[in-house]
Structure 1
Amino acid sequence: YGKRMEAHAGPAPTVRDRLFSSYGLLRDPEKERPVIEFYRKYHRAAAESIVALAGSIKEALARPLVCGTFYGYLLEVPRIHEAGHLAPDVVLDSPHIDLLAGPYSYQSTNDPASERWESDLYDGADNWLGRARGVGGDGAFRLMLESLRRRGKLYASEIDPSTYLDEVDGWRGIGGSGSKTAKGSVQILQRDVGKVFAEGVAGWLYDFGPLHGVPTGWYGSPELIESVKPIMDLMRRRRELDLSPAAKTAMIVDHRCSFVTQHWLADRPWEGQGIRYTDLFNHWFLNSQNRALQRLGAPVDYLHHFDFEDLDAQNYRLILFPNAFTMTSTELDSLRSKLAGSGATVVWYYAPGLLSDRTANLESMTALTGFKFSELLKPGPLMITCEQRSGDAVQLPLSFGVKSAQNYRPRFSVDDRDIEVLGHWTDAPKRVAFAKREMDGWTSIFVGTAPVPSRWLRRLASHAGVPLWSSSADVVCGTRSTAMICAQSDGQRILTLPTPMVSAGGGDPMREHRLDLKFGDVQLFIADEDARR
């Protein structure tokens, strides 16, 4: 931390001030304002440096060129308070930055019996949340892709799974489950390259193979090359297609959460996470929540909070706010105004709107969500026991939440009467931690912890009017003209698309496709222009 940075961000707060928060998992805005402001200025200075360098490059070369940077990760960011990308608006709004890039999900398993590079995630009730990498993994991106698209910024996915060609221990397992077989390597590449196709983005194969004693590289076998050739043909066809988004579900993420939450070192030894150096909120409310959300069976858009507009409230039917803990009164009023009469269903997590610039206020949570709250005085687990109802077509999880032996504060409960109770705090069965109520033309849902499992998300989405493309909890992504499904179970399912599409394997253009798939199977679809005409 040098003098130049100090000139921009001011003197660094003491180690104690940075590592310890006075309000449990949160920082008190009044007592800890210097720390909060330091982080804001520190990250803004870093982002401004990136933009300045990009501007210098374009000025020096004095010719048209594409300039990009690895920036904008909000998912899976170790050491986020110091190393996070926490001034995304600076980079996104810069005319000097044309492209943002990043490797896809690296989230590793929290199952102690599994290998390091396995990536199956489980919550505190042992609900399977999903798999990040490997056969059947979602291969999810770590940036807010819809925010990039709205600014005309290109996203390039760094595709870097190891394959069966690497027989040396070390990086061999980075491909994830199944990557050590030829069939598994083919499925993983089809998923990774297929996701680039279906999401309307760019990508490259980052081949570490030659550095690890694989002369042909990780992707150099005829079998692997042939497996992606058909996808490259689809890539060329998509230039003529409408690649605008088709999602009716959105996750709205606020980078400022990291300014007002407990430092990542406070969770040492990161019990139950499976990955070190990450804080509770990034790990459970974003990373692990995304594993379940990727298995909604329908596309999901990811936006920065500053990009949420009036039309978004009208367009999206299910909107998740996993970390909207801090906002000004003006922002709160604006958000409520956007939601009024929208017909949307909004899921608020943990402490929505609690923290302003100056104080922590339960009345602000009420003004935002419509629920009356009280604070639990006793620290406890971030676990919810769900209400069980007869008549549900799918058995919902009995409980869910953070996998940890620690007790946390603050926690909040809903005190209203005119609500639908969905769950209680596990250690306080009379305190409501999961609830739903109707508002002025929209539906408000409060959930006191994360991650919400995919079966609950599918139920909430269905009730909200979200068209679930797959009849199963599969990984599904796509645009108005492209789609990909990665099966999460064996058996038949129905895939219902927004427009008639042709399977990459051939056939007639249809909206409804009946598929018999095995776990990890990948199928791609593309709109048929002849049928459209």
Structure 2
Amino acid sequence: MPPPLSARVELNADRPTLLLNDEPVAPLIYALSDCPGARWTWEEVPARNIAEFGRHGTRLFQADVWFEQMLTTDGSLDVTLARRQIAGVTDVVPGAAVMLRVHVNAPPAWCAAHPQECVGYADTEPHDPPRHGLVRPLADDALRPTRASFYSTAWQEWAHDRLREFCALLSASPEGNALFSIQIANGVYGEWHQFGFLHHDPDTGPAATAAFRHWLTTHYADDAALAKAWSHSGLTFATASVPNSPSREMATVGILRDPQTQRPVIDYFTFQHTALTEVVLALAATVKKSWPRPIVTAAFFGYFYSIFGRQAAGAQLAVRQALQSPHLDCFCSPQSYEPAAKGFGGTGNARGLIGVVRRAGKLWLDEMDTPTSQVGCPWEKDFTSTPADDIAIHRRNVLQPVTRGGGQWWYDFGPIGRTPNFSRGGNVGWWDTPELLAEVEAIQTIAAARHELPFLRPADVLLVHDPMSFCHTVSQRHPSAEFGKLPTTTSDPVTPLLVDDLLHGLYQSGLAFDEALLEELAELDLSPYKLILFATTPVITPAQREVIETRVATAGRHVALLGFAGWSDGDHAGPEVAQALSGVATVLHRPTVPQHNFNLDGVNSSLRLKNTIDLPAYAATPAQIMGTWSDGRPSVVRRDADNATWWNFALPPVAPVALHALGTLAGCHIVNAPGDCTLIGDGLLVVHTVDGGKRRLQFPRGPVIETEIPARSTTVFDGLTGARLLG
């Protein structure tokens, strides 16, 4: 029997490295879904897919278990199910290492016995459809379910007790020797989203209210200070309440909440995210303390992109707090569900700020759950693909996190899709074809060959975000929709441009970029960057403004303030606050037609919003007008200062050609012409293209690659040698 696994994540040469018994392992994982018929490792179809991935070079595997599934009648845990999940893997792939996704939700009986400890909704009452047959415990998470509140101390104590019991029992078993990681799961689909957050406003229950009131006592000196901050005479800690839906859905300064009049909502969301992070980190610490050997802890955490405008309501925004903790090793998310990311020619990007995670020494893991033509998609009846497109998208998706210094798992919903050839066989996995399994092996080989080398992503464009700023921006609930139909309405049309559209444009611009948190700028080495984009940074404190003036706007760098960047200092919000940062007179302006047109280095671009709101506009002096609203008011200006060039964009330049032009003006390195999705990192240069054709490519400090690329393909090059590795 192999020795017990000791697992850890260690930062080596700028690469967060997964070490199993001190040996580096490429973090590429095959995972079963939680669905009946496809969730137990020892059953025929899952076992076949596990074995096939093992035969093609995969050593790491993942499966789900729920406390609810392991509880005995007396409330203790029987870990037989967890042992069987691990044994089902090691029986067909000897030497495999297993990650268990452990769902720490309280079971329905616990919630029924503790109604005061459950989630409350500001706009509705909980409702639970009847259970029947083989169920997915998470099936109704996104509706308005009865669930234990994250902020319930009673649930937290229950979850910690169960985790300690689970670790003690499983680590003492032979199967426990093969466990390398526990992924702690709860919230919508296990992803630490607030329950029902897309369509409702959680959490207003008694447990969350009590926790919020306690949080207020740690942030205000006394009742009088709270009453003054909230502009509510006579308010006390004991009478403060969680904001209702109308107050959450109102902005008074463009897309921003006014800190002088809307402090209760800002405070509540600040509490929600900081307290959630504390809960997740505490559970991770319990795993670390309770497992007798070093073990890797993981959680779905740090979501930023593709949250459908509901970041404050349901993401995990206090990411800086989590990155500084020694207790959580891996941050995870599914890849973006935005059409511009998932579709052919799209970006396949993660939903977190991966560059930030990598620099902190944490391992980012994508959940790659894109269907293939082999089976189709259980929740998307009109999904179509071809075997050739499957390969191109598979390369793009798997190499996306690899080029960012992370890893991923193949999350296989294939066995519940449909029977592709009923007359010859039954259900199969999404990637169970000779061609796709060959791709699995080829990518494993590429990743393993590079894994002990220094990580290289020489970017000269820096994209700056502040996740906690979503506490200050407006968001409305989405109407209920059929599962799989993504919400598209938004009360804030600017933020989606600054978040998802800007990222997609950068991946297709031919520029090499990385991300940073606003808080990092005081300590980050900025010397590589020629262009710095301030995107979702509406709140910039006085101390951060000084950092921008003394560290960022220097060395001839180009600095672009996008949208409402710098419109608040945390205490006040408005155009005068923005003007104090940019040096350009700024106003709120409502154009009759919300379209602006601009020209960068001879490249014309335009952008139009679906609805009219108050938006930034600028004075011409002392700046140069580069773009205007439809009524002639300046919407893009450039100001040349002694040590830097400042740009103000009322709406961000999201078109790849516009970003390419801006990067060219800033003197950035050009890796590829705009249009293709170009992935740059780990010494790799990956081109995902619709049209194909002749290309001139150059990894920074690498050779020029003059080549021709097929249409509808993904081609992989070694950027430092120019060698074609795949395609």
TM-score range normalised by the length of the shorter chain = 0.7 to 0.9
In 1, Cα distance between equivalents of 2:721 and 2:591: 59
In 2, Cα distance between equivalents of 1:268 and 1:420: 46
Report deviation, 1:309.
3.8
In 2, Cα distance between equivalents of 1:196 and 1:45: 29
Q: Deviations over 1:212-254 (max 9, x none)?
A: 2352210001111113322221111102322132111121111
In 2, Cα distance between equivalents of 1:513 and 1:498: 12
In 2, Cα distance between equivalents of 1:208 and 1:40: 36
The amino acid across from 2:316 in the alignment is H
Report deviation, 1:461.
0.1
Provide the residue aligned with 1:335 in structure 2: 548
In 2, Cα distance between equivalents of 1:18 and 1:330: 28
In 2, Cα distance between equivalents of 1:358 and 1:8: 24
Report deviation, 1:194.
2.5
Provide the residue aligned with 1:459 in structure 2: 661
Provide the residue aligned with 2:620 in structure 1: 416
Contact 1:313 1:344 in 2 (8 A): no
Provide the residue aligned with 2:671 in structure 1: 469
Q: Deviations over 1:326-368 (max 9, x none)?
A: 1222221222211242322111112221212322243332232
Contact 1:208 1:217 in 2 (8 A): yes
Task: Determine whether 1:356 maps to 2:587.
Answer: no
Provide the residue aligned with 1:236 in structure 2: 448
Report deviation, 1:46.
1.0
Provide the residue aligned with 1:396 in structure 2: 604
The amino acid across from 1:182 in the alignment is P
Q: Deviations over 1:74-130 (max 9, x none)?
A: 1111332221212112211111000011111100xxxxxxxxxxx2xxxxxxxxxxx
Provide the residue aligned with 1:8 in structure 2: 211
Residues 133/530 of structure 1: CA separation in 2 closer, same or farther (3 Å cut): closer
SS at match of 2:302: coil
In 2, Cα distance between equivalents of 1:529 and 1:463: 28
Q: Deviations over 1:268-323 (max 9, x none)?
A: 99xxx973365534422211222212111132212222122455433211111112
Task: Determine whether 1:191 maps to 2:405.
Answer: no
The TM-score normalised by the length of structure 1 is 0.84
1:132 to 338, 341, 345: 341
Q: Deviations over 1:456-497 (max 9, x none)?
A: 110000110110111343222223622212125332110012
Contact 1:353 1:364 in 2 (8 A): yes
Task: Determine whether 1:83 maps to 2:275.
Answer: no
Alignment of 1:277-296 (within 5 A): 279-296=492-509
Residues 308/157 of structure 1: CA separation in 2 closer, same or farther (3 Å cut): same
2:323 to 92, 108, 113: 92
Residues 470/168 of structure 1: CA separation in 2 closer, same or farther (3 Å cut): closer
Residues 227/344 of structure 1: CA separation in 2 closer, same or farther (3 Å cut): same
In 1, Cα distance between equivalents of 2:607 and 2:525: 29
In 1, Cα distance between equivalents of 2:622 and 2:591: 27
Task: Determine whether 1:66 maps to 2:288.
Answer: no
In 2, Cα distance between equivalents of 1:338 and 1:291: 28
Identical amino acids, percent of aligned pairs: 25
Unaligned stretches of 5+ residues in structure 2: 1-203, 214-240, 420-426
Residues 321/105 of structure 1: CA separation in 2 closer, same or farther (3 Å cut): same
SS at match of 1:298: coil
In 1, Cα distance between equivalents of 2:636 and 2:692: 32
Report deviation, 1:49.
0.6
The amino acid across from 1:299 in the alignment is A
The amino acid across from 1:104 in the alignment is Q
The amino acid across from 2:372 in the alignment is T
Which is higher, the Rg of structure 1 or of structure 2? Answer: 2
Residues 77/528 of structure 1: CA separation in 2 closer, same or farther (3 Å cut): closer
Report deviation, 1:262.
1.5
Residues 268/366 of structure 1: CA separation in 2 closer, same or farther (3 Å cut): farther
Report deviation, 1:173.
5.5
Provide the residue aligned with 2:707 in structure 1: 515
The amino acid across from 1:396 in the alignment is N
In 2, Cα distance between equivalents of 1:477 and 1:136: 12
Q: Which has the larger displacement, 257-266 or 487-496? A: 257-266
Provide the residue aligned with 1:171 in structure 2: 380
The amino acid across from 1:435 in the alignment is V
Contact 1:372 1:415 in 2 (8 A): yes
Report deviation, 1:266.
8.6
In 1, Cα distance between equivalents of 2:259 and 2:396: 44
The amino acid across from 2:322 in the alignment is V
Provide the residue aligned with 2:350 in structure 1: 141
Task: Determine whether 1:48 maps to 2:278.
Answer: yes
In 1, Cα distance between equivalents of 2:722 and 2:716: 18
Provide the residue aligned with 2:459 in structure 1: 247
Report deviation, 1:169.
6.1
Provide the residue aligned with 2:716 in structure 1: 524
Provide the residue aligned with 2:629 in structure 1: 425
Provide the residue aligned with 1:114 in structure 2: none
User: CA RMSD, aligned part only?
Assistant: 2.6
In 1, Cα distance between equivalents of 2:600 and 2:662: 15
Residues 64/388 of structure 1: CA separation in 2 closer, same or farther (3 Å cut): closer
In 1, Cα distance between equivalents of 2:636 and 2:690: 27
2:514 to 301, 310, 313: 301
Provide the residue aligned with 1:498 in structure 2: 700
In 2, Cα distance between equivalents of 1:102 and 1:316: 28
1:368 to 559, 581, 587: 581
Residues 362/489 of structure 1: CA separation in 2 closer, same or farther (3 Å cut): same
Contact 1:168 1:212 in 2 (8 A): yes
Report deviation, 1:447.
0.5
Report deviation, 1:206.
0.5
In 2, Cα distance between equivalents of 1:39 and 1:364: 23
Q: Deviations over 1:119-158 (max 9, x none)?
A: 2xxxxxxxxxxx3113322101221111111111001111
